Structure 1
Amino acid sequence: MMTRFKCLQTTLIIMRTLFCATVLSLILPITVKCQTGRVVYDAIINHSQKGTPKDEMFKDDLYAKAWLYFDGRVSLYRQLLPDSTINIRSGGGDVGYMRTKYPVNVNDTTGSIYRMDYVNKSIKSRMPIYNMKSFYVVDDKIETIQWSIKSEKKNIGKFKVIRAEADYLGRKWIAWFAPDIPVSMGPWKLYGLPGLILAAEDTSRKFKFSLRDLNIPFLNASKLLNAKVLDQKGMRKSEFILLEKKKKDDQYRFTKANMEAAAGTDGGPVTVKINFAETIEIYK
């Protein structure tokens, strides 16, 4: 009797194992397939001067092309430089701000790249300094984002999205994620929500991401997750911050020296104020 029971028990275990293997063989390819994707964003950088009314800031927006590729373990976000620039000056009185927007030839065609390895909790980036003319490879760690999910919902295209907020790397972000797309990733370094981030904006309205196109699955995603420009050894994030500060100090001294030379020896001390372009990360 005991032998028969053991045989029956063994048979049930074998059957259960075969059943599980069969189910996994059916589910796994679909799961893996759904974890690959490509998202096309508009990356919007606002160049409004301080004091510009918030309802006018959109007039100073510059647009850049951006892509996010992912395979469930790694994501790679790439953002090109804007192909236009804007000249803003105050008209004074009732004239307000006068804006001139014109196209520019972009020398750098690679742009910013952020490769996030969620297993090893690491980020390898090609990051620009404030003037968007020089880029450096930087090694960093993924920081946890403390999101607060709100009750507010809306539609982005055919997707229902939910609002979330977080303070992250010096800015307060509002993100809209799609729970129907169970991918915890997003543009730039934004991640960690129970759904793909389709849109995001910082509350100062200086940086914004909006969805243009979405492909899930995207079979070529894995081929695009390794950028050769990231193969070189990177500097630490702390080194990058010090480098950017030095670049700003150098520009300040250069500008001050030129202004003093133009004023002549009897011109007295020259006060210089430079409004450096804002960076998406605010460094302490």
Structure 2
Amino acid sequence: MKNNILLFLLLSIFANAQTNRFFYEYKFIPDTNNMTEVKKEMMFLDIDKNGSNYYSRDKFVDDSTAQADLERQLKLSPNNISVNKREKAGQVSYKVTKQYPDFKTYLFKSISGDQYKISEDKKPEWKILPDKEKVGEYNAQKATTNFGGREWTAWFTTDIPFQDGPYKFYGLPGLIVKIEDKTGSHSITLVGNKTVQNVSAERDLQVPQNVKLFGMGGKEIEVTKDQFKKAWKNYVNDPSKNMREMMMKNGGDSNNKMVFKFKGSDGKEISDPNQVFRQVEKSVKDALAKDNNPIEPDLIN
């Protein structure tokens, strides 16, 4: 009966241009100095006939809300935009896409105000083992791989005949329903799925030429992993560089003058540029010190 339902779902996807959405619970430990703090995030893996998209549910909802608010402001008063910092929605800011049939894989990740599209030049090389166990309602088989600087153990099911999985993982004879790294600090488990209408493509945020939005809108910069690693190293060494450059570009034009404001730990607003830059650098370095255990260490080391 289960296989009949899955066959019906697959036929519906390809016949009616629908998307099969798989829900994964992602558990991770961001700080190796605090192994007792385990974070959780609900992730989507959307699969259609063209490929798949893997991203955070909370960030998707937050980004959609922020874009709708900015578009409303731009219509009402394009020269007076207010971008208020909200509580961070979710912990996972990246997105991964795969294009069928060759599984061309891209990671979308931002550094400061720049959006990067990072091409993946390696595919996971799997060792399929005879071990089997039940993962949720699915019969699953074990496989292992070394990828991105970690040793991974995956469980896949042929009950769902997509050779795909969360993050950059794919290439097994069925959907990956669970994957965990050797240290136990990154674990992703399938918890449900449903068929949805095709997810609408992301729209570029259209803004007037005289309006600059730091970290929002604009096209991704397509790079290799080595190029991204260089950009990441530059960011870690100088976190406020983008802000300084944007201010210098706009400083000579009073109509486009950019004002940066920052609230310190005491809640007081800081508007002096040099103080803002110092606070940004401190804030970024403090955050990075507590976020030292990425899912793919090879991408930044």
TM-score, normalization by structure 1: 0.61
2:202 match: 227
Q: 1:80·1:112 contact (CA, 8 Å) conserved in 2? A: no
- Contact 1:43-1:79 within 8 A present in 2 as well: no
1:79 aligns with 2:56: yes
- Structure 2 residues without counterparts, runs of 5 or longer: 1-6, 60-85, 205-216, 240-277, 279-287
1:236 pairs with 2:251: no
Runs of 4+ aligned structure 1 residues displaced above 6 Å come to: none
Q: Is the CA contact 1:43–1:66 (under 8 Å) kept in the aligned structure 2? A: yes
- Per the TM alignment, residue 32 of structure 1 is displaced from its structure 2 partner at its CA by 3.8
CA deviation vs aligned residue, 1:203-253 (integer Å, no higher than 9, x gap): 1222111122122xx242xx22733469824330332211111122236xx
Cα distance change on mapping 1:64 and 1:110 into 2, 3 Å = closer
Secondary structure of residue in 2 paired with 1:241: helix
Instruction: Return the letter of the residue paired with 2:202.
Output: A
Residue 240 to residue 178, structure 1, CA distance change in 2 (3 Å): same
8 A contact 1:124–1:137 mirrored in 2:
no
Q: Residues 125 and 29 from structure 1, CA distance in 2 versus in 1: closer, same or farther, beyond 3 angstroms?
A: same
Deviation at 1:275, TM superposition (A): 6.6
The Cα of 1:37 is off from its aligned counterpart by 1.5
Percent of aligned positions that are identical: 21
The one-character-per-residue Cα deviations of 1:14-67 (angstroms, maximum 9, x if unpaired) are xxxxxxxxxxxxxx98754366511011111213534x7xxxx4x311011210
Larger radius of gyration: 1
Partner of 1:9: none
Q: How many residues align?
A: 205
- Give 1:77 deviation, angstroms: 0.5
Aligned pairs for 1:31-50 within 5 A? 32-33=11-12, 36-50=19-33
Which structure 1 segments of 5+ residues have no match?
1-27, 83-103, 252-257, 259-272
* TM-score, normalisation: structure 2: 0.58
1:173 aligns with 2:173: no
Higher strand share: 1
Tell me if 1:248 matches 2:223: no
Structure 1 residue 160, shift from structure 2 partner: 0.7
2:135 counterpart of 1:147: no
- Please tell me the residue identity of whatever aligns with 2:41: A
| Cα contact 2:114–2:220 (8 A) shared by 1 | no
AA at the equivalent of 2:177:
L
